[in-house]
Amino acid sequence: MFKTGNPVTGKDFIDRKKHLPLFKTYIEQNQSFMIKAPRRFGKTSIVKHLLENKDEYEFIYIDVKRVSSLKSLANKIIDSAYKISSIDNFLYKAKNSMFDLIKSIQNIKLDDIAEVTIKISQENNIDEVEYFLHSLDVVNSIAIKKNINIKLAFDEFQDILKIASPDILDKSRSVMQHHNNVTYIFLGSIESIMTKIFEHKTSAFFHFATIVELPPLDIDELYDYAQKVFQIKSIKIDGLKEVLEYLKGHPDYSLQLLQKLYFNALANETTILNKEDVYNTLVDVITNNKAYIEELISKSKQKKHNLDVLYSIANNTKSNLDSKTLYNVHSSLEDMGLIKRVSVGKYKINDIFLEIYLLQKDDNLILNYTNKT
């Protein structure tokens, strides 16, 4: 119940009733789309819930954040694509079991594209860009041979700019736009960079994919779901709706709280949790995330003035920096995924727990939580 820490699928997935039908329509109609939202907002869970282990779809999921080079990214795509044609570990076999591999590709009539893959992958001085573009062609070629549409999802897509020069975007678009048998799905947690890639008129991916900004969980929907789960164990919680509203529908933090409330009630063999129990559990959850928040704060310190500006945003105070410097700092914090522009000159902290820590006057955790008893 209330699974946290990993992408959630199946019966543990909490329906986003307002959004799933739209995503499902995009997938069924082979419409490429992009989802942007802060970290821990459930982007991966949504895509995996819709596509993973579904007989009606062929699905490739690639986490760009977990690769160290364009070559390793291409390797993951290639192996995943050939697996759809029942060839496991294609690149390993190309290096160690060529005879068996040739028999396999002849049986599935992929000789032409597979031979190119083998040739490029074994070059000593491999052109990583060409190899990556070839990997995309492999996916489309296999989809054509099988007369299907393959769904190819790139998680944390903005991180491709960490392993390749910016012109990789133009080159990727020039190849992807000809792939009628591939639906591309792009996920990203650095909203400012995803916006630059997909929404600016001069960007390579402008008008390539439908843009979706994933909002927080619907609090009423989440509350109803939680109530049903607690009622199975006859657990009553005072002030549950208020604390979920306080968390503003943040998917991960809300589920951490609900999970801890649920486990505490079972462990203590109690069926009643009052407002003080809820408050103390909230403090525990915030404290348990302290290492992650400290990581965000440490990240912000990489550039001068960043932390000071974060404090001013959290505490709604005016910064003493000149306008040009302040603009640059805001841009830096946006590109780190720490803040979001909500209107001209107005920004908000993306992570509610980071905001809480920035609001503290000392080491004691004092929450502005009106429902504390």
pLDDT digits over 222-251, tens only? 999 999 999 999 999 999 999 999 999 999
Q: How far apart are CA 340 and CA 213, in angstroms?
A: 12
Q: What is the pLDDT of residue 373?
A: 43
Least confident of 4-18, 19-33, 168-182: 4-18
Look up residue 208 and give its amino acid.
F
Which pLDDT does position 165 carry in this prediction? 96
What's the mean pLDDT when you consider all of the chain?
A: 90
**With 80 as the cut, is the pLDDT of residue 8 above it?**
no
Give residue 241's identity as a one-letter amino acid code.
K
Given a cut of 60, is residue 364 above it in pLDDT? no
- Residue bearing the bigger pLDDT, 361 or 186: 186
What is residue 253's predicted lDDT score, i.e. its pLDDT? 94
Q: Which range among 120-124, 260-264, 335-339 shows the weakest confidence by mean pLDDT?
A: 120-124
Among the ranges given (22-31, 171-180, 193-202, 360-369), the one the predictor scored with the smallest mean pLDDT: 360-369
Residue 115: the pLDDT is: 83
Residue of higher predicted confidence among 368 and 168: 168
pLDDT at 372: 46
Q: Of 240 and 11, which is predicted with more confidence?
A: 240
Q: List, for residues 60-114, the tens digit of each pLDDT value.
A: 999 999 999 999 999 999 999 999 988 888 888 888 877 678 767 776 666 678 8
Write down the pLDDT at residue 111: 65
With bands split at pLDDT 50, 70 and 90, how would you rate the model's confidence at 371?
A: very low
Better-predicted residue by pLDDT, 174 or 124: 174
Q: Nearest CA to 373 among 262, 247, 279, 241?
A: 279
Q: What is the mean pLDDT of residues 348-363?
A: 84
Cα 335 from chain centre:
15
Q: What global pTM score does this model have?
A: 0.86
- Rounded to 5°, the CA angle 94-100-101 comes to 40
Contacts of 368 (CB under 8 A, 6+ apart): 359
pLDDT at 368 > cutoff 70: no
Q: Enumerate the β-bridge partners of residue 153.
A: 61, 185
Tens-digit pLDDT profile for residues 250-286: 999 999 999 999 999 999 999 999 999 999 999 999 9
Q: By percentage, how much of the chain surpasses pLDDT 90?
A: 72
Q: How many CA atoms lie within 13 A of 167 on its CB side?
A: 3
Q: Which residues pair with 61 in a beta bridge?
A: 153
Q: Which pLDDT band holds residue 369 (cuts at 50, 70, 90)?
A: low
| Sole residue written with tokens 């928040």 | 293
pLDDT digits (tens, 9 = 90+) for 12-49: 667 677 788 999 999 999 999 999 999 888 899 899 98
Q: Alpha carbon of 151 to those of 61, 92, 119, 180, 329: distances in Å?
A: 8, 24, 26, 11, 38
User: How far, in Å, CA of 57 to CA of 276, rounded?
Assistant: 47
Instruction: Compute the average pLDDT of residues 189-213.
Output: 94
Per residue, the 3-state secondary structure of the chain, as one string, reads CCCCCCCCCHHHCCCCCCCHHHHHHHHHCCCCEEEECCCCCCHHHHHHHHHCCCCCCEEEEEEHHHCCCHHHHHHHHHHHHHHHCCCCCHHHHHHHCHHHHHHHHHHCCCHHHHHHHHHHHCCCCCCHHHHHHHHHHHHHHHHHHHCCCEEEEEECHHHHHHHCCCHHHHHHHHHHCCCCCEEEEEEECCHHHHHHHHCCCCCCCCCCCEEEECCCCCHHHHHHHHHHHHHHCCCEECCHHHHHHHCCCCHHHHHHHHHHHHHHHHHCCCCEECHHHHHHHHHHHHHHCHHHHHHHHHHHCCCCCHHHHHHHHHCCCCCCCCHHHHHHHHHHHHHCCCEEEEECCEEEECCHHHHHHHHCCCCCCCCCCCCCC
CA-nearest of 265, 263, 213 to 236 is 265
Who's near 295: CB < 8 A, 6+ residues apart?
Answer: none
